[in-house]
């Protein structure tokens, strides 16, 4: 990463020197911090092929619903940006900050708006909408990083830098560009956007991303047993939730509904919060949580193998998180060797390469539903069952695992549960093991 930043710095240095021709710079004892926002404008002007076209877009953008709904501060800031862009030939600057090139390189590599624009361009052809949609998603990132809990998290990185520079470092260290490249690829397919026209697809993707980034902080009620006047009673308490949510409608402190189940599911299926989702049995059928999850915790065990398979099937699906981790691990070196040939959607090319490399006896389930690397370099679905040794649930787990093996043998048959019960009741463990040799193997 640091080699890349150094390369970017050298490119920026050449372009900036060219853009500064004719600009008045007055050296002073104190550095001029306006360099941080004026230098990107100078570079923008140097890179633009048609400045009139860009200015026409800004005028159209000011007529959009998104712009009209913004507050006065945003509108003033945007207009100040345009006025400065139009008058760059007459600007006067003081001494350049020593870290300017470092900051500009980080902006080019990892600033949220820059990363969004690049990620969108991998999925969509160049159009007038791309800049507008980029700005809308970037604004959602701005709100995300301005929330109190996130400020606390990011501010701890370096106490001596201004917050906006800490956000840059955070985005760079977390490789936000790669995160968005992967997220937009998954979202584009899972939402069926490849079946509609490009402008509509871009609009729908933008709405989904903004919805995930804009998940509200919710309030969770819980009961506490307290003793008062030698009597015990339940005391209701409130807890604010940021990174873990229940799969349900959620309310704020004022008992107002602020989050719907669909938004919770959409946000959990993104690389952003919530990172932990708690659900009752309502979440074990018909819902997919596989896009950014590979671990499931069974707080209580189901009574039969069908329900167990249903639960774990929520995170073991098409192009699931564990599948992508294995594909990325297999083709890591291939990416670096072919980086100059990757001009579009990286993940699409990765899966195409994995499909091309599969063995002749394999079918289309690999690499999209199953994909394994050599032993020791493989990621797998994680099953966590917090039951005590020698407890009732511990013995139930052993029986459930045996039932699960029988259920997979009976999978696809009519009245599966009855068949599983019959086999378990009438055959001992040793006979069940022998019976496995005669099952129809549905594995690819």
- Residue pLDDT, tens place only, 72-109: 999 999 999 899 888 888 888 899 999 999 999 999 99
Task: Fill in the DSSP letter of residue 194.
Answer: G
**In 3-state terms, what secondary structure has residue 113?**
helix
The stretch 388-395 carries a mean pLDDT of 78
User: What phi, psi does 335 have (nearest 5°)?
Assistant: -60, -45
DSSP β-bridge partners for residue 225: 234
pLDDT of residue 421: 64
- My answer on whether 252 and 291 are in the same domain is no
Dihedral sign computed on CA atoms, order 286, 289, 291, 295: negative
Do 364 and 397 fall within a single domain? Answer: no
Residues 343 and 255 in one domain: no
User: How many domains does one find in the chain?
Assistant: 4
Q: What is the DSSP-derived secondary structure letter of residue 273?
A: S
Looking at per-residue pLDDT, the higher value among 103 and 416 belongs to 103
> How much is the pTM?
0.84
77 with 222, same domain: the answer is: no
What beta strand segments (E) does 315-396 contain? 382-384
Residue 40 counted as domain residue: yes
Examine the fold and report which residue of 246, 275, 304 is the final residue of a domain before the chain moves on: 275
With tokens 């970037």, the residue in question is 138
End residue of a domain, out of 254, 275, 296: 275
pLDDT digits (tens, 9 = 90+) for 261-281: 888 888 899 999 989 988 887
What whole-number percentage of the chain has pLDDT above 90? Answer: 34
Does residue 443 belong to any structural domain of this protein?
Answer: no
Q: Which of 66-70, 126-130, 239-243, 411-415 has the highest mean pLDDT?
A: 66-70
CA distances from 368 to 55, 184, 189, 307 (A): 44, 17, 12, 24
Range of the domain at 253: 217-275
Please indicate, yes or no, whether residues 148 and 270 belong to a single structural domain of this protein. Answer: no
Same domain as 250, residue 116: no
What pLDDT, on a 0 to 100 scale, did the predictor assign at position 444? 42
The answer as to whether 13 is a domain residue is: yes
| Same domain, yes or no: 96 and 195 | yes
Looking at the predicted structure, is the pLDDT value of residue 412 above 80? Answer: no
114, 244: one domain: no
pLDDT digits (tens, 9 = 90+) for 185-208: 999 988 888 888 888 999 999 999
Spatial neighbors of 427 by CB under 8 A, at least 6 apart, are: 435
| 186 vs 268: CA distance, rounded Å | 13
Q: For residue 116, is it within any domain?
A: yes
Asked whether residue 396 is domain-assigned, the answer is yes
Rg of the chain, C-alpha, whole Å: 27
Contacts of 312 (CB under 8 A, 6+ apart): 296, 381, 383
Above 60 in pLDDT, residue 121?
A: yes
**Residues 28 and 61 reside in one and the same domain:** yes
What is the per-residue pLDDT for 143? 93
444 part of a folded domain = no
Q: Quick one: which H or E segment has residue 227?
A: strand 218-228
Answer with the one of 365, 386, 407 that is the final residue of a domain. Answer: 386
On the question of pLDDT at 294 being above 80, the answer is yes
Choose among 276, 140, 279: nearest CA to 211. Answer: 140
- The mean pLDDT of 287-295, rounded to a whole number, is 89
Residues ≥6 apart with Cβ < 8 Å to 340: none
Q: In terms of domains, do 358 and 315 share one?
A: yes
Half-sphere exposure of 127 (CA within 13 A, CB side): 17
Do residue 8 and residue 18 come from a single domain? yes
User: Cα–Cα–Cα angle for 22, 27, 31, nearest 5°?
Assistant: 110
**Is 163 in the same domain as 254?**
no
Q: Which has the higher per-residue pLDDT, 427 or 278? A: 278
Please spell the DSSP secondary structure of 296-314, one letter per residue: EE-SS--SSHHHHHHHHHT
């Amino acid at each position: 990463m640091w080699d890349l930043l150094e390369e970017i710095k050298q490119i920026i240095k050449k372009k900036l020197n060219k853009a500064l021709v004719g600009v008045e710079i007055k050296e002073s004892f104190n550095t001029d911090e306006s360099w941080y926002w004026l230098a990107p404008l100078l570079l923008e002007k140097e890179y633009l092929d048609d400045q009139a076209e860009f200015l026409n877009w800004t005028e159209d953008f000011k007529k959009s619903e998104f712009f009209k709904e913004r507050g006065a501060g945003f509108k003033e800031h945007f207009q100040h940006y345009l006025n400065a862009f139009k008058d760059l030939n007459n600007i006067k600057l003081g001494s350049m900050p020593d870290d300017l090139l470092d900051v500009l390189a980080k902006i080019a590599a990892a600033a949220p708006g820059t990363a969004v624009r690049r990620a969108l361009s991998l999925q969509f052809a160049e159009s007038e909408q791309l800049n507008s949609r980029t700005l809308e998603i970037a604004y959602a990132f701005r709100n995300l990083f301005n929330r109190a809990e996130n400020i606390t998290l990011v501010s701890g990185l370096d106490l001596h830098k201004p917050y906006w520079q800490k956000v840059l470092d955070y985005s760079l260290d977390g490789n936000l560009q790669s995160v968005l490249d992967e997220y937009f690829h998954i979202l584009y397919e899972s939402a069926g956007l490849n079946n509609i026209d490009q402008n509509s697809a871009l609009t729908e993707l933008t709405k989904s991303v903004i919805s995930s980034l804009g998940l509200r902080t919710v309030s969770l009620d819980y009961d506490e047993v307290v003793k008062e006047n030698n009597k015990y009673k339940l005391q209701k308490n409130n807890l604010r939730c940021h990174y873990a949510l229940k799969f349900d409608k959620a309310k704020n402190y004022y008992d107002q509904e602020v989050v719907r189940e669909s938004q919770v599911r959409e946000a959990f299926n993104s690389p952003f919060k919530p990172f932990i989702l708690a659900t009752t049995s309502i979440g074990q059928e018909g819902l997919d949580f596989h896009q950014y999850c590979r671990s499931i915790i069974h707080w209580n065990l189901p009574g039969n193998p069908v329900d167990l398979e249903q639960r774990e099937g929520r995170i073991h699906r098409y192009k699931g998180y564990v599948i992508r981790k294995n594909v990325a691990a297999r083709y890591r070196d291939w990416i670096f060797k072919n980086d100059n040939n990757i001009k579009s959607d990286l993940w699409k090319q990765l899966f195409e390469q994995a499909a091309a490399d599969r063995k002749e006896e394999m079918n289309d389930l690999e690499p999209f539903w199953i994909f394994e690397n050599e032993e020791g370099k493989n990621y797998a679905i994680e099953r966590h069952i917090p039951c005590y040794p020698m407890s009732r649930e511990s013995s139930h787990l052993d029986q459930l695992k045996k039932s699960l093996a029988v259920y997979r043998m009976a999978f696809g048959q009519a009245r599966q549960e009855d068949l599983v019960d019959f086999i378990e009741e009438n055959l001992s463990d040793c006979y069940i093991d022998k019976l496995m040799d005669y099952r129809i193997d549905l594995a690819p």
